[in-house]
Amino acid sequence: MERPKLEVADIFRRYGETYRDKHGASMSTAQRRVMKAIEVCRTAALGGQIEQCDQCGHQRICYRSCRNRHCPKCQSLARAEWIQNRQAELLDCEYFHVVFTVPEEIAAIAYQNKEAVYSILFRATAETLRIIAADPKQLGAEIGFFAVLHTWGSNLLHHPHLHCVVPGGGLSPDGTRWISCKPGFFLPVRVLSRLFRRLFLEHLQHAFDAGKLHFFKALEKLRDRREFARYLAPTRKTEWVVYAKPPFAGPQQVLDYVGRYTHRVAISNNRLLDIDAGQVRLQWKDYRDKGQQKTMTLAAEEFIRRFLLHALPDRFQRIRYYGLFGNRYRQEKLARCRQVLGMAPPVEATPPADYQDQHEQLTGSSLRECPVCHRGRMLMAETLTAHTSPLCKDTS
């Protein structure tokens, strides 16, 4: 794959120091770590090695990656590995993509309380799907699904929502049969929306009562219980947006599609068009105008601000698994699902011995083959010492 001509790293390297000088006092530790990681990724700062072809003598420098999950350059292999792991878990049934989002009032609270409110978003979503699916009037089954947190819209502004991928059915209460949903229809979104709203606001109130929410600047008045209740009052009456996208064409399309969602934060390098005179030009999709592709120009300072809106708390899990896919009983539950669906057991792949073999298996491109003569093998000729300690790694 051809490397993008422009990268988020280019913007950070060119304008990052100025941004820190101006906004450093209001930046979180996580945001500072993200900026530093992206700036030094695959540069001499992290060290690396010189490789040389054993046939033609061609040399190349391979700098180490920062491995930060917010870095656009560091997620290709992680994404490919995740997709490979999910491959064996696909069930022979229809799959659905359901999105849960929150009103702007909640998003504002979420930005000042990321760990607490994002966790509530996961919890309320999971409870909603499992409760409605278990209702005999709906599906009457135990379902499984995974949820991926996104905190951005195409314009890079703060817009927290969950993408849930759900098989179209589940195990009967006694575990003896598979109950399928109606073709092309999973669960009623209005029912999902209203239960989701109630559960979310209940959990948010409990977090407030337990002193787990903190408010600053424009939201500082919400520290008062009456102001907090007054602020949330409109959200109890509005319809919260929950929508189901068209069903996937088949199980394999699930991974092809969702793989683009799992290991990406805010923006990919491919969307960047130009960086000049303190301005960043990028592509974006305007969903309010029938998803039209458009071009946006932002001041570099504003681009960095929007990107850093999406820095996650350290070790926060942005992909979570529930029900039949829950980590504790996943293998046992999935084996039962395959049995009642009449599927053969999955073939377990032997993991590669080293990074280069793993890269070739997952991506199809070889790191060993010489890119010039295509006959020789690239062997390490010299180790390059890092110029600074990699304090920026965040692989969670």
What does the pLDDT average to over 229-255?
89
Rounded distance between C-alpha atoms, residue 248 and residue 257, angstroms: 9
Is residue 132 within 8 A of residue 96, CB to CB? The reply is: no
pLDDT in tens, 72-102: 888 777 787 788 788 888 999 999 999 999 9
**Cβ–Cβ contacts within 10 Å for residue 252, how many?**
12
The pLDDT, as a whole number, for residue 280 is 95
Using N-to-C axis directions, what is the helix angle for 251-262 and 76-87, rounded to 10°?
150
* In the predicted structure, residue 367 carries a pLDDT above the cut 80: no
* In the predicted structure, residue 169 carries a pLDDT above the cut 80: yes
The pLDDT, as a whole number, for residue 1 is 42
* In the predicted structure, residue 390 carries a pLDDT above the cut 50: no
pLDDT in tens, 267-277: 888 899 999 99
Q: What is the mean pLDDT of the chain?
A: 89
The pLDDT, as a whole number, for residue 259 is 74
User: Of 30-44, 294-308, 357-371, where does mean pLDDT reach its minimum?
Assistant: 357-371
* In the predicted structure, residue 150 carries a pLDDT above the cut 60: yes
The pLDDT, as a whole number, for residue 334 is 94
The pLDDT, as a whole number, for residue 312 is 93
Structure tokens at 120: 């509530």
The pLDDT, as a whole number, for residue 366 is 72
Residue 122 sits at φ, ψ, to 5 deg, of: -60, -50
What does the pLDDT average to over 7-13?
94
Report which of residues 124 and 84 the model is more confident about: 124
The pLDDT, as a whole number, for residue 171 is 97
The pLDDT, as a whole number, for residue 288 is 82
The pLDDT, as a whole number, for residue 194 is 97
Across-strand partners of 77?
Answer: none
Would you place residue 358 in the very low, low, confident or very high pLDDT band (cuts 50, 70, 90)?
low
Is residue 342 within 8 A of residue 149, CB to CB? The reply is: no
The pLDDT, as a whole number, for residue 5 is 80
* In the predicted structure, residue 393 carries a pLDDT above the cut 60: no
Tell me which architecture the domain covering 89-266+309-341 has in CATH.
3-Layer(aba) Sandwich (3.40)
Report the C-alpha dihedral over residues 99, 103, 104, 105, rounded to 10 degrees.
Answer: -140
DSSP states along 86-133: HHTT--SS-EEEEEEE--HHHHHHHHHSHHHHHHHHHHHHHHHHHHHH
Q: Where are the domains of the chain?
A: 8-70+354-384, 89-266+309-341
Place of tokens 């300072």: 301
Structure tokens at 66: 């920062």
What does the pLDDT average to over 170-185?
93
> What is the tally of helices (H) and strands (E) in the chain?
11, 13
pLDDT in tens, 300-310: 999 999 999 99
Structure tokens at 338: 């395959």
Q: Is the pTM of this model over 0.95?
A: no
